[in-house]
Structure 1
Amino acid sequence: MIKDIVNEEAVCQYLSDWARLLYLVIDETNRMVEKGHFHKLKDILK
């Protein structure tokens, strides 16, 4: 598990810095949109 390797603060910092992000793959996006959870998807992408 990743928490065993690094502390939680480092993980949060890594996940919040998308400056060098080239690709973002979100699995099951079609199901999220079909079930009316599009607003949650928008929040993820903000």
Structure 2
Amino acid sequence: MKFQLLYSLTICVLAFVASSDAAISPEVYWKIKLPNTHMPKVIRDFLSQAG
């Protein structure tokens, strides 16, 4: 019983984390993860075409 509860809680937490990261734009995500690095033009162009 404890294992099922722990497993369910873990799945819920992972789902929440995945959904919260998807809610921000790629540019903001880049600035959060790599604050002192400029996003290369190639990546920026690809993201604007993909979106």
TM-score (norm 2): 0.29
Which is bigger in relative contact order (C-alpha 8 A, separation at least 6)? 2
Larger of the two Rg values belongs to structure:
2
TM-score (norm 1): 0.30
Q: Which has the higher helix share?
A: 2
